[in-house]
Structure 1
Amino acid sequence: MSDPPHAVDPVQLGAYFALIEVSDLLRHAIEQQLHDDGGLTFVRFQVLMRLQQTPTGSHRMTDLADAMVISRSGLTYQVGLLEKAGLVTRAPTPDDDRGVTVTITDAGRTLVARVLPGHEEVVSRMLFDPLPQDDARTLARLLTPVRDHMRTAPPRSAGPRRRR
């Protein structure tokens, strides 16, 4: 009897569960740090970081939803909370009547600068301290093609909207 075409062997299954557990434990510690240091959730921190890392400090909402793998409505809600706090602004996209662009404010940049050192400390302590530098490079080398493979699927926000 042969294995089904996509059977996961015990080594792969162990790697999968270790990856999920590491991800869950790291995410929990990061969420706690971001909340304690800046009153942020991980998703709101991601929005601010992605905006800050662009030359203009801006992103189209749809592109941001795709990059973060979040629904359009979920991102709209999160950006609304950030806007209410004065950390981002929203405006119509100049070349697209239906598009909306979100931009980080100076207050948003200040908050990122305040929480980023603690964020980096948690990531370093929990994920990279137990690994020699060569293993960290290997981890990056292994995960990059997996991420790139997963990104070949159409983004969630490109899918059809469900009608009620």
Structure 2
Amino acid sequence: MTRNTAEVTPTQLQAYFAFTEVSSLLRHAVEKQLRDAGDLSYVQFQLLATLGDSPDGRLRMTDLADRVVYSRSGLTYQAQVLEGRGLVTRAPSPDDERSVVVALTSAGRDVLGAVFPGHIDALHRLLFSSLTDADIVDLGRILQRAADHLRADPPRSAAPRRRKA
């Protein structure tokens, strides 16, 4: 077995630990805000927001799982919980009977509308207020490059399924 002998420099290690610390602290605060404002978990918010960003408020379950990097089985459970609350509906795809389509309901849009102001405020207060506009541009560019690199060899939950021709 071949071992990767690449070393992590002190600068890389410092950047990694800073990234994980910021990510953990921000996620903890955002999760609390989402629970308090809309009784949503972080992943439930991601699912609703992703559906809200889609042109018609609907996506195939596999596409939704790929976008939020969540296991398909975990997504099925979360969609079931959201459906029980009336925030989404699930139905067979009209294009492929093997696929299920998840659609955002008006109640789901209402919950998004209730949590978004506090969500945006938390992001500004906890992350963006300490950065300049140039820092934010750099951060976005750097993180997008890292995300693109990670998605080039994604975990199964983030890998788009190949459709049969």
Q: Find the aligned partners of 1:73 and 1:31 in 2 and give their Cα distance.
A: 22
**Which residue in 2 is equivalent to 1:50?**
50
Q: Given that residues 30 and 42 in structure 1 are in contact (C-alpha distance below 8 angstroms), is that contact kept between their aligned partners in structure 2?
A: yes
Q: Across the two proteins, how many residue pairs are aligned to each other? A: 157
**Which residue in 2 is equivalent to 1:120?**
120
Q: Find the aligned partners of 2:156 and 2:135 in 1 and give their Cα distance.
A: 32
Structure 1 residues 12 and 154: alpha-carbon distance in aligned structure 2, compared to 1, 3 A threshold = closer
Q: Find the aligned partners of 1:123 and 1:90 in 2 and give their Cα distance.
A: 31
- Matched to 2:156, the amino acid is R
Q: Find the aligned partners of 1:5 and 1:140 in 2 and give their Cα distance.
A: 30
Q: Find the aligned partners of 1:91 and 1:107 in 2 and give their Cα distance.
A: 17
Aligned identity (percent) is: 54
By how many angstroms is 1:6 displaced?
2.4
By how many angstroms is 1:96 displaced?
1.1
Root-mean-square deviation over aligned CA pairs = 1.6
Q: Given that residues 66 and 155 in structure 1 are in contact (C-alpha distance below 8 angstroms), is that contact kept between their aligned partners in structure 2?
A: no
Q: Find the aligned partners of 2:67 and 2:141 in 1 and give their Cα distance.
A: 20
State yes or no: 1:93 paired with 2:93. Answer: yes
| 3-state secondary structure, aligned to 2:89 | strand
Q: Given that residues 90 and 103 in structure 1 are in contact (C-alpha distance below 8 angstroms), is that contact kept between their aligned partners in structure 2?
A: yes
- Matched to 2:52, the amino acid is Q
Q: Find the aligned partners of 2:94 and 2:152 in 1 and give their Cα distance.
A: 28
By how many angstroms is 1:51 displaced?
0.2
Gaps of 5+ in 2: 161-165
- Matched to 1:82, the amino acid is L
**Which residue in 2 is equivalent to 1:105?**
105
Q: Find the aligned partners of 1:103 and 1:114 in 2 and give their Cα distance.
A: 19
Q: Given that residues 33 and 118 in structure 1 are in contact (C-alpha distance below 8 angstroms), is that contact kept between their aligned partners in structure 2?
A: yes
**Which residue in 1 is equivalent to 2:78?**
78
Instruction: Write the deviation string for residues 90-145 of structure 1: whole angstroms up to 9, x where unpaired.
Output: 00011112100000000000110010000001011111100111111111111111
Gaps of 5+ in 1: 160-164
**Which residue in 2 is equivalent to 1:162?**
none
Q: Find the aligned partners of 1:6 and 1:150 in 2 and give their Cα distance.
A: 18
- Matched to 2:130, the amino acid is P
Moved over 2 A (4+): none
By how many angstroms is 1:156 displaced?
1.6
Instruction: Write the deviation string for residues 49-97 of structure 1: whole angstroms up to 9, x where unpaired.
Output: 0000111100100011111111111000000000000000000011112
Q: Find the aligned partners of 1:77 and 1:128 in 2 and give their Cα distance.
A: 33
TM-score normalised according to structure 2 size: 0.91
**Which residue in 2 is equivalent to 1:151?**
151
